[in-house]
Structure 1
Amino acid sequence: MSAKSCNHHHCYHGNCDRKKLFRRIVFGVLIFIILGLLAIFIIWLVLRPSKPSFYLQDASIAQFNFTAGTNLLTAIMQVTVSTRNPNDRIGIYYDKLDAFAVYKDQQITTSTELPTGYQGHNDVVVWSPYLYGVAVPVTPYLSVALDQDIAAGLLLVDINVEGQLRWKVGTWTSGYYHISVTCPAFVGIDHGSGSNGDAPSFHFQHAAWCAVDV
């Protein structure tokens, strides 16, 4: 065999050795990733995080009326909402939260951003945001529905919270999860007892648990 053939044969085996080494490295990395994901999945199944609970403590309505002859609704209110993390070993990061009011399936206030941050095990956080909706365009039937509710003496306004959260287990933090909260605010109406002598006034009926979807 010539020297040229020997050199070619030697280089061929060198390439094979490098390919085998590369395959082993890739295989080892894949095994490491799979084992890591499996460990996280097992921990997740064992801990089974429970979604946070939300509670509407108060809703104070300063104004809730239509502009005469228009389909423009003005609603001004302050609400107090608390949330509790029921997990013993799992923390919660709230990355984005917006609160707004809904009446008859229509949003009637702009979104108010709530403070975000970390909620530890079994911790309780309380927010008391103001919700504003000045001359908000709504469908015509809402005016009729509001007149009916005022006549009945009871108003139902949903306080919604939408945002994103992450779970924290030890040093591991999950990806983002969407959270949607709906709190029913039952508000009583007193006719003709407003500050101007004929406008109705509103009083919060009772605190209520909220529906939470994560």
Structure 2
Amino acid sequence: MLLFGATGMVGQGVLRECLLDDRVTRVRAVVRSPLDTTHPKLTELVHADFTDFTALAAEFEDVDAVFYCLGVSSTGKREAEYRRITHDYTLAAARALPANPALTFVYVSGEGTDSTEQGRLMWARVKGRTENELLAMPFHAYMFRPGYIHAANGERSRTPAYRLIYPVLSRLYPLLRRTVPGKVTTTEDIGRAMIAVVGRNGTGEHVLHSPDINRAAAG
């Protein structure tokens, strides 16, 4: 399988679960710079231009699953910049894949994503467009829309503001899990749920919110 965004908080958690799970035999992580992690199942594909994956065509050839965890905060970004990273990079990766209707593509979106692409929130419109285009492509696409994500095993966000907030929220996580269980999940559960939906072969709901992600992980 291919993993995008392995250096981010969610991607770190997904990579960990893939390396621990015997059902995953090989992980190819597309990264801009080498990872700190080494493992017999892990291959790093260092690549600079996320709008053009032509150079990685051979590495993409025989994959059966893609876990796309790459993303950025919209804070302080103009729409064009946010769209380039959130939409253009994602669709470039999807379009670079070989024609394979059995392939599963799992995209980490977010709670509040605007499927109509007409709302006031810029980030929600951009993610909505990204989701819609992925769902229309000739593979099994699943959209993950988590709410609050708890870093279960020490994963760290690359966003400075999040690094300040997460230590506080992490201490509150047990309370959040009890009081608003439908709004929270963990990096661990996202990774396990991604692996689980590959086995659905395109069946079931294609847009999963935090409760759906947690059930898939548990199942």
TM-score normalized by the length of structure 1: 0.20
Q: If each structure's strand is expressed as a fraction of its own residues, which one has the higher value? A: 1
Which one has the largest radius of gyration? Answer: 1
